[in-house]
Amino acid sequence: MLKNETAKLKTKTDFVPIPIIDLFAGPGGLGEGFSSVNHKEKRVYDIKLSIEKDEFAHKTLLLRSFFRKFDKDKVPNDYYDVLKESNLVKRESLIECLFRDYPEQAKIATEESWKVELGGSEYTPSEIDRKIRASLKSSRDWVLIGGPPCQAYSLAGRSRVGGIDDGDHRVYLYKQYLRIIAAHQPAVFVMENVKGLLSAKVNEEKVFDWMLKDLNDPKTVFPEYKCPKYKIYSLSHRPVGYDENSNPIYKFDSEFLIKSEKFTVPQKRHRIILLGIREDISKIPQILEENEKQINLIDVIGDLPKIRSVLGRSIYSSKIINGKKKRVYKNIVDNNVNWNRQIEMFKKQFKGWEDLNYDNSNGDSNFELLSIGSEYMNYDTPSLLNPLFDWFRDEKLKGVCNHQSRSHLLEDLKRYMFSAIYAKKHGRFPRLKDYGPYEDELLPDHESATSGKFADRFRVQMPMSAATTVTSHISKDGHYFIHYDINQCRSLTVREAARIQTFPDNYLFRGPRTAQYHQVGNAVPPYLAFQIAEIVYRIFKK
């Protein structure tokens, strides 16, 4: 073989992926999107380190990291045996066996997924820096991704505590992200945060203004590091111009807001996402391309197995004890016969309610055929009509994970059914004021029901539009995430929430169900991250 032919061959085969460090990684939504970008059947990016403090999110990251150590068509069947195990204890045992049987991949995954709290007392900044340097191995051109905790900035969080407390350490957690930029100087960074950041103020100073200023020049906060400046770009709008230092100028802060439903994500998730490019890289990034047609909720969860709620307790009585209302509950036997009887009782009552005028003459009940779901269900999904079929689908899975309903108070199930019927008739979910003459039957038995603070406490997700934002609150109850199907009468499952967030079906969420919900609600939609990753890759290609 001639020398120049040998050189060409080497150039073709020695493709080096772009290193990534993922901070505040959660269950790995951003990382999943970046890891899914391929060039000539090779992954463009290589996650070198994912840092997350939550125990169960870290376990989810660890298993997904292991999965990525195999080529797509060479993932071992043992991995799918894990996904198909419905018993949580047995599943964890299978994961231990999986890691033991594939020690090389398990070792790399364990080194990549690091359970640590940034800003905590367990590790000093210098120890974290040593870990990052060891992971990067002298790479200068790499990408930093992550979303510092945002509860302090969220509109819901601020309404609960009456504003932002400047003593809340979470207000300043973004500086952990900033310090790593200053110390390690990535070529590009992507930082995500909540919409509330735009209006957040601490001591009458806009948080977003000083955050942009700090990210533009990290050494103003960390002068001990010789760090270059960064140009901060929006991913949804082009700048209107540039200042004397070639920094992009935007007319409104809101131009940094990404409305996910415009970018092939079936969810009205509005988040601030900043793209920073090191000043020595003279590249102007593209912006996300808006999709022509919004993806509706029914498009992505309508092909999942139909399941019913678990029958929970019922309120037996309420008493005032020491000035506080105390409930006395009675348990309900959960079985299909009892479920059918309760649901038919609700339907019979609703049929006479004038505002509903509910007619079930099409006989669509068959409740006895519905199960309560499982951690794994054998089922042919997604359907070919699913607009994200290729993204969700894994031929080896042959079913669906994390698709089990939770139990609900019987009185709440009645409200769920009323809300679903009302939404079907009126094209919107009912507020508490819409209960009208049925208040005695439907109004929740607590003081906040009449306070006006929770007017939309029971929110049906409308099938023919994008879902509302999936948040970590979904882990507490299902009131904001009621399934639109009258006959299923329940809140969304973890897998339905994961579909809305665009996690692939073979992405397993570990831990108890409450922890699974929490992980999904805190994540960045992977398919949105995938589109952002393609923009970043074009910067590197140039």
Angle 505-190-111 (CA atoms, 0-180°, nearest 5)?
65
Handedness of CA 182, 184, 188, 192 (dihedral sign): negative
Strands in 198-353 per DSSP E = 201-202, 205-206, 230-234, 241-242, 248-249, 257-259, 270-278, 310-311, 314-321, 324-330
**In this model, does residue 9 exceed pLDDT 50?**
no
294: closest CA among 414, 466, 86, 516?
466
Residue 455's pLDDT band (cuts 50, 70, 90): low
Handedness of CA 333, 335, 337, 341 (dihedral sign): positive
- The pLDDT, as a whole number, for residue 243 is 95
Place of tokens 């009449």: 450
Looking at the chain, the number of H-run helices and the number of E-run strands are 18, 20
Helix (H, G, I), strand (E, B) or coil at 265: coil
Q: What percent of the chain has pLDDT over 70?
A: 87
Angle 245-246-250 (CA atoms, 0-180°, nearest 5)?
110
- The pLDDT, as a whole number, for residue 6 is 37
- The pLDDT, as a whole number, for residue 449 is 54
- The pLDDT, as a whole number, for residue 174 is 86
CA distance 188 to 176: 17
- The pLDDT, as a whole number, for residue 367 is 46
492: closest CA among 349, 320, 373?
373
- The pLDDT, as a whole number, for residue 151 is 56
- The pLDDT, as a whole number, for residue 53 is 96
47: which strand partners? 20
Angle 30-81-389 (CA atoms, 0-180°, nearest 5)?
50
- The pLDDT, as a whole number, for residue 319 is 67
- The pLDDT, as a whole number, for residue 277 is 98
- Residue length, the chain? 542
Residue 315's pLDDT band (cuts 50, 70, 90): confident
CA distance 353 to 69: 58
**Strands 270-278 and 257-259, bridge-based pairing:** antiparallel
- The pLDDT, as a whole number, for residue 168 is 44
Half-sphere exposure of 183 (CA within 13 A, CB side): 16
Residue 453's pLDDT band (cuts 50, 70, 90): low
- The pLDDT, as a whole number, for residue 366 is 47
Instruction: Spell out the residues 6+ positions from residue 345 whose beta carbon is closer than 8 angstroms to its own.
Output: none
How confident is the model over 413-431, as pLDDT tens digits?
Answer: 999 999 999 999 889 988 8
Lowest model confidence (mean pLDDT) among 34-43, 164-173, 275-284, 324-333: 164-173
How far, in Å, are 18, 500, 513 from residue 112 at the CA level?
A: 15, 27, 25
Tokens of 345: 């009782």
**In this model, does residue 139 exceed pLDDT 70?**
yes
CA distance 312 to 91: 26
Residue 12's pLDDT band (cuts 50, 70, 90): very low
Handedness of CA 507, 510, 512, 518 (dihedral sign): negative
**In this model, does residue 447 exceed pLDDT 70?**
no
DSSP H helical ranges for 154-196: 155-161, 174-184
pTM of the model: 0.91
CA distance 58 to 64: 10
Spans of all domains in the chain: 15-54+112-291+524-541, 306-378+406-492
Contact call for residues 432 and 482 (beta carbons, < 8 A): no
29: closest CA among 477, 386, 500?
500
How confident is the model over 483-537, as pLDDT tens digits?
Answer: 999 999 999 999 999 999 999 999 999 999 999 999 999 999 999 999 999 999 9
Contact call for residues 256 and 241 (beta carbons, < 8 A): no
User: 294 or 446: whose pLDDT is higher?
Assistant: 294
CA distance 20 to 294: 31
Average pLDDT over residues 150-175: 52
CA distance 62 to 54: 12
CA distance 259 to 349: 41
How confident is the model over 335-370, as pLDDT tens digits?
Answer: 999 998 998 888 888 877 767 766 654 544 444 478
- The pLDDT, as a whole number, for residue 425 is 87
User: Mean of the per-residue pLDDT values for the chain?
Assistant: 88
- The pLDDT, as a whole number, for residue 3 is 38
Lowest model confidence (mean pLDDT) among 69-83, 401-415, 455-469: 455-469
How confident is the model over 211-264, as pLDDT tens digits?
Answer: 999 999 999 999 999 999 999 999 999 999 999 999 999 999 999 999 999 999
Q: Taking the chain, what is the end-to-end CA distance rounded to the nearest angstrom?
A: 31
Helix (H, G, I), strand (E, B) or coil at 338: helix
Find out if CATH 1.10.10.60 is the number for domain 15-54+112-291+524-541.
no
Q: What is the dihedral of CA 295, 300, 302, 308, to 10 degrees?
A: -130
DSSP H helical ranges for 265-307: 297-301
Contact call for residues 283 and 239 (beta carbons, < 8 A): no
- The pLDDT, as a whole number, for residue 450 is 52
Rg of the chain over all Cα atoms, to the nearest angstrom = 25
- The pLDDT, as a whole number, for residue 70 is 96
CA distance 251 to 184: 31
- The pLDDT, as a whole number, for residue 357 is 66
- Cβ-based neighbour number of residue 238 at 10 Å: 13
- The pLDDT, as a whole number, for residue 508 is 98
Place of tokens 């307790």: 313
User: 2 or 108: whose pLDDT is higher?
Assistant: 108
**Strands 241-242 and 270-278, bridge-based pairing:** unpaired
**In this model, does residue 323 exceed pLDDT 80?**
no
Contact call for residues 325 and 396 (beta carbons, < 8 A): no
Place of tokens 């009645």: 414
How confident is the model over 370-404, as pLDDT tens digits?
Answer: 899 999 999 999 999 999 999 999 999 999 999 99
